[in-house]
Amino acid sequence: MTHSAHSPCPRLLVSPSSSARGWTLIELVITLTVMAVLTMAVIPIVRTSIKRQRETRLREALREMRGAIDEFHRDTVNMQCGPTGAPAAVPAAPVVPGQPGANGGLWVDPRSRVRIADCTIFGVDNPERYPPSLEMLVEGVDVLPRTAGAAQQLGSLQGNMTETNAPPVPKKKIYLREIPVDPMTGKAEWCLLSNYDDADGGCSGSPTNVFDVRSKSDETSLNGKEKYNEW
């Protein structure tokens, strides 16, 4: 039996594709569980990475400030102070390492090209002449070149003091661009220690000078052995 040419064709029923039927509850729960597990695993890694970066910045800040303190102290060697605190006219002559020099001078570190000229910034409680504060390292102090004294002294002996060997004019030297922020506390505040303070005694309330600087954070570092205020 054949179908008529005009008989209608049977309709095909198309079922919806599996991609259009959406997520089931079980699939959604499994996906969220996997994402939660991955997130919990990544968070500690991110925290450790951030803490390690902060530790690196802390070491750099401490190194920068301690370097500025040491440089300041080097420039105080063989300072020539008059009775009123003003710099003397002729500095001490160069000396041999390990031996006292002229006028009781000390050996000068070759890295020090200038000497601090303002003697009034040091009180009687700071005979070692470390910087009185971190702010002074930022503000700067007046200095004179160490090599200027020889030309001035030679001109005085020859009796022909000219503009070439005239007393040099003090210039201000900056030792620290700015007081860095402690990455552990988020503040530009540091634990200051003088050379009379116990290294393990904590911060000094009012140090007579700035011999060392440390963080105020008592958190434990990543190595699990040291605290940041012990660095």
pLDDT above 70 covers a percentage of the chain that reads 71
Dist. CA 100–CA 91, nearest whole Å: 14
Tell me the whole-structure pTM to 2 decimals. 0.69
Percentage of the chain lying above the pLDDT 90 cut: 45
More confident residue, 150 or 138: 138
69-83, 159-173, 204-218: range with lowest mean pLDDT? 159-173
Give how far Cα 40 sits from Cα of 34, 64, 71, 177, Å.
10, 37, 48, 42
Q: What does the domain layout of the chain look like in residue ranges?
A: 76-178, 180-231
Dist CA 129 CA 143 (whole Å): 14
What separation in angstroms does the CA of 160 have from each of 89, 90, 93, 165, 218? 16, 16, 20, 9, 63
Q: What is the mean pLDDT of residues 118-127?
A: 90
**pLDDT tier for residue 92 given thresholds of 50, 70 and 90:** very low
The pLDDT of residue 226 is above 80: yes
Average pLDDT, the chain: 78
Paired tokens of 125? 């409680």
Q: Shortest CA distance to 213 belongs to which of 128, 108, 137, 126?
A: 137
